Amino acid sequence: MSDSSLRDLYQDIILDHSRHPRHFGPMDDATHSAKGHNPLCGDRATIFLKVDDQDRIQDVSFEGRGCAISVASASLMTEMLKGRTTAEAKTLMGGFLHMVKGDEVQDLPADDRDQLEVMAGVSAFPMRVKCATLAWHAMNAALDGKDTSATE
Ligand code: ZN
């Protein structure tokens, strides 16, 4: 597959996630939640997590509104987090942050890297990096018990 058709494929995946976000909606029995806001673009996302006593993420959802990149990134994230431990979720986030900044990503399994690769194109658009990372920062804040909306 050529580079340009691969890019088209990724764009299709991003558009599909932004139009039909997965795991969209509030969660009544969430154990962790946090809001994120990207004032540069106006994106808002609230992340809900249900973590069991083994530190494993049993369920995850999000709600909010924003540009296609922010919604697609949140949707993609929720697809990847279910069943992971909180430590694995943080490792995933670290790898994702490196990827969207255009850095080398070495600490992720190939399967995870392939899934996240869809968003790697934003590294060429520094203004959009905050759109792509919004949900991940909110997820991290939720796990740390820090609601980022408090800083607004
Ligand atoms: Zn945005």
Phi/psi of residue 39, each to 5°?
A: -65, -25
What is the Å distance from ligand 1's center to 93 Cα?
A: 18
Question: What range defines the domain where residue 38 resides?
Answer: 3-151
Task: Give the pLDDT confidence score for residue 146 in this predicted structure.
Answer: 74
Task: Give the pLDDT confidence score for residue 35 in this predicted structure.
Answer: 96
Spell out, as residue ranges, where the chain has pLDDT lower than 50.
Answer: 149-152
Task: Give the pLDDT confidence score for residue 147 in this predicted structure.
Answer: 61
Are residues 92 and 76 in contact, defined by beta-carbon separation less than 8 angstroms? no
Task: Give the pLDDT confidence score for residue 36 in this predicted structure.
Answer: 96
What is the Å distance from ligand 1's center to 55 Cα?
A: 31
**Which CATH number covers residue 145?**
3.90.1010.10
Task: Give the pLDDT confidence score for residue 1 in this predicted structure.
Answer: 54
Q: Name residue, tokens 């959009």.
A: 128
**Total of domains in the chain:** 1
What is the Å distance from ligand 1's center to 68 Cα?
A: 7
Q: What is the DSSP string of 3-41?
A: HHHHHHHHHHHHHHHHHS-TTBS--TT-SEEEEEEETTT
Task: Give the pLDDT confidence score for residue 151 in this predicted structure.
Answer: 41
What is the Å distance from ligand 1's center to 134 Cα?
A: 9
